Amino acid sequence: MLASTARFVGNVGGVQLTWRNGLDSSEAAEVMALLDKAEQADGVAPVGEHVILRLKAHRDVIHQIEPVQADVRSEHFVVRDAGSVLIGYAHLDTEHEKTAGQLVAELAVHPDHRRKGVGARLVEALLDRAELSPEPAPDLGRLRIWSHGEHPGAVRLAERFGLSRPRELWRMGRDLAAPELPEPELAEGVRIRTFRAGRDEPSVVEVNHRAFAWHPEQGGMTEQDLRAKEREEWFDPAGFFLAVDGKDRLLGFHWTKVHPGGMGEVYVVGVDPAAQGGGLGRSLTVAGLRHLRDTGSRQVMLYVEGDNAPAIKVYQRLGFEKWDTDVQFGR
């Protein structure tokens, strides 16, 4: 692997912006602390789970003699004030740059340093970086910037830079006490069992790929990604439900998650296209909801594409309502 490199981007009013293609453990820890501050102030995490997992991988590496390694899937924009205190950060996901010509960014500004031009400087740097990308595939923009929870500051920046909103991700939720949850209804020969770590990863990844071939993030999950999440504190195989046929072939799955504080999540529901159309996805969802209720969660949430009307209708029939929206801004 190549050693990471850094490039000084600019200094305005004592505020320094630096581009990096790798972080050392101490800087990754600084970034995670900044993201925590932003989440505490806003009530919503400023970056997605995959960004946190990548930052943890940097933070947990102890660099001694060997240099910091370049990150092949991420680039980092770091903003520091005149005292070298971290006040802004942007993560740029470059994983699909070569295949789809697309770059996806997420950013955060320290709550004490907002409305001082830090966010605008990060967006300018991201737009400049996007100009270096290959031409995008038809109907794909070159750069997309997430705003989790449709933060008002992000909306102002989008208006300032003339960005549209090509994608919305709804967060929906419901209480688990009411309305009452139905029983799962399974076709003859189909049963639901729980995930077996060390055995079921290949089949889950295979079905996930077929079920989400259209999805820009979920469809690319690898066995390595799955095993990394198995090492997370929240992972619980008892809340990972697999629908299988009489020969134990995987037809679909519902992976649940419980957040700190007890909030449940319909983390991923995936059904093999060959098994779709018979209500299996709904039955798997119900099985997971009943598990979350029975293990103490009082509320449950999920994310669904804002233009996925069939899925939204299914969730509404199960008692879910729209809570808020994550927005991708782009040109």
Pick out the residues of the known binding site: 49, 107-109, 217, 257, 265, 269-271, 276-282, 303, 308-313
Distance CA 241, CA 176 (A): 18
Tokens of 17: 């912006």
Strand partners for 104: 93, 144
158 three-state secondary structure: helix
Distance CA 251, CA 190 (A): 9
CB within 8 A of 196, min separation 6: which ones? 237
Contact (Cβ atoms closer than 8 angstroms) between residue 302 and residue 254 = no
Distance CA 76, CA 79 (A): 10
219 three-state secondary structure: helix
Euclidean distance between the first and the last CA atom of the chain, given in angstroms as a whole number: 34
Contact (Cβ atoms closer than 8 angstroms) between residue 196 and residue 218 = no
Distance CA 113, CA 81 (A): 9
Known binding site for acetyl-CoA: residues? Answer: 107-109, 269-271, 276-282, 308-313
Contact (Cβ atoms closer than 8 angstroms) between residue 72 and residue 224 = no
**Closest Cα to residue 110, out of 133, 78, 139, 140?**
78
Strand partners for 69: 3
**Closest Cα to residue 16, out of 147, 125, 158?**
125
